[in-house]
Amino acid sequence: MTITFRSETFRDDFTFRNSLYNIKRFPFPFDRDEYMYSVNMEPHIRGKADSVFENLIDVDEHYVAEMQDRALVLKEDPLRCQALPHMMTAQWDVLELLMEHQAQDYPEHFTLEKNGDRWRWVNRPMGIDDTFTFGDAATLPYPPMEYITRQAQGDFCIVDQRDNNLWMDAGMVTTQADWSLDFDIGMNFMEWHGPVPLAHQIGVFDRALKFLLNLQQGKPTRRLNWTMTVNPRLDTSPENYHKWGPDRTTVTPENVGDKMHLRVELQSLWRLPRSNAILFVIRCYLISLSELVTVPKWGRRLPRVLKSLPPEIADYKGLTRNRPIMIDWLAKYDDGAPTSAGIYPD
């Protein structure tokens, strides 16, 4: 299928919108009416047609605009993309994985030709046609991870595995929900999750780490995570918190439907073949409350979930200030009818 890429912005005038097709395929993260804290891992396998799970590396109508926004972020702050020196093999693993998936699932838009180590990569939406030598970083205009993640939606962390732990040793992070790669690079799994409330005490991270250390090649895994963002802003970094923080005071009962966005991360984890590192993809999807309530099941369920959120979690996700306004506005979409199980629209 040929995707029509939208021309839109994630800053200043915020012209980002979802098409009707894209609303229906939004990865709504709540499979029941009350909030439940869990690791919620499942195999990252192909799902329903016209869902974000149709392809394992999803490309959608926001692709070109997201890549333009990433380029702007990197101009302002090059430290959003960093790799420790021992991660070069893993960088090539990532380049191969992303090129192969994009070319295989979107042949109208991407082509990868391999002639031994001589590879040709064609990215039509971005007007790129490069030939390079796989394994020779000097033949690309950027280091391999930066090169390919300037052409792939989502944030990317490459996590090294050693000493029975995982280490955040490389990443391209420009669409993050308030964490800093520059601060966390080099940390292990428990360290970089340090600030997350509640989960350490109930053993969530111990179980998740154990699970990930055993991740097998060819069997990627995924989970959904979520928060809310005022305005469709991709770059909600701590670095720029003093710039986007004031947005949170601009929400009113009149504008909440258009201003407040559910921000869902489709997180997928992939064992890499040469380096034995893990690629952690954090793909961000945004939808305004007004767009979301066009699916009646989601309109009923979201206010119920928001009401059941423990205060620590609301605080960590930065929702405390605007939760009452959201719940009030959403109330009219909840007629009290039961909802079906699972995340998909009825």
Partner 1 sequence: MLVQGIKSRPEYKGLDIDPHAKRHLFVLEGEGAQALIDEVGAKGRDFLAKSEILYLAAGAAPKAYDVTLSALSPDVFWQASTLQPLLFRLRACLEQARMGTRLSIAGTEGFIGQIMQVAIEYGIDYHSIHTEHRGSMARRVQCVHCKGITDNVTTSPFPCSHCGLPLLVRDHYSRRLGAFQGVNIDAEEPGTAPEPEEMFP
Residues that bind partner 1 (CB under 8 A): 79, 180, 182-187, 190-195, 200, 238-242, 244-246, 248-249, 321
Which residue in this structure is represented by tokens 């979930």? 305
Any idea what DSSP says for residue 246? Answer: G
Tell me the backbone φ, ψ of residue 100, rounded to 5 degrees.
-65, -45
- For residue 64, with 0-12 CB atoms within 10 Å meaning exposed, 13-18 middle and 19 or more buried, which class applies? middle
Distance separating alpha carbons of residues 278 and 169, to the nearest angstrom: 10
Q: Using an 8 Å Cβ cutoff, are 178 and 236 in contact?
A: yes
CB of 312 to partner 1, least distance (A): 14
Task: Please name which of 145, 122, 152 lies closest in space to residue 58, comparing C-alpha atoms.
Answer: 152
Using CB atoms within 10 Å of the CB of residue 69, give its burial: 0 to 12 exposed, 13 to 18 middle, 19+ buried.
Answer: buried
Read off φ and ψ for residue 242, nearest 5 degrees.
Answer: -70, -15
- By beta-carbon proximity to partner 1, the closer residue of 153 and 236 is 236
25 assigned to active site: no
**What b-and-e string marks burial along 111-132, b requiring 16 or more CB atoms within 10 Å of the CB?**
bbeeeeeebebbbebbeeeeeb
Q: How far is the CB of 27 from partner 1 (least distance, A)?
A: 28
**Shortest CB 18 distance to partner 1, Å:** 27
Looking at the DSSP bridge assignments, the partners of residue 115 are: 118
Active-site choice (124, 162, 222, 223): 223
CA 189 to chain centre: 18
Of 190 and 213, the one with the shorter C-beta distance to partner 1 is: 190
CB of 112 to partner 1, least distance (A): 35
- Closer to partner 1 by Cβ: residue 43 or 195: 195
Cβ-based nearer residue to partner 1, 192 or 298: 192
**CA 94, 100, 103, 104 torsion-angle sign:** negative
Nearer to partner 1, 10 or 189 (CB): 189
Amino acid at 231: N
Angstrom distances, CA of residue 49 to CA of 29, 54, 58: 18, 5, 12
Among 86, 84, 93, residue whose Cα is nearest residue 170: 84
Task: Name which of 194 and 342 has its Cβ closer to partner 1.
Answer: 194
Query: Whole-number minimum distance, CB 320 to partner 1, in Å?
Result: 11
Cβ–Cβ under 8 Å, residues 177 and 236: yes
Task: Specify the residue, 140 or 319, whose C-beta has the smaller distance to partner 1.
Answer: 319
DSSP, collapsed to helix, strand or coil, labels residue 155 as strand
Cα–Cα distance, 263 to 45 (Å, whole number)? 22
Active site residues: 223
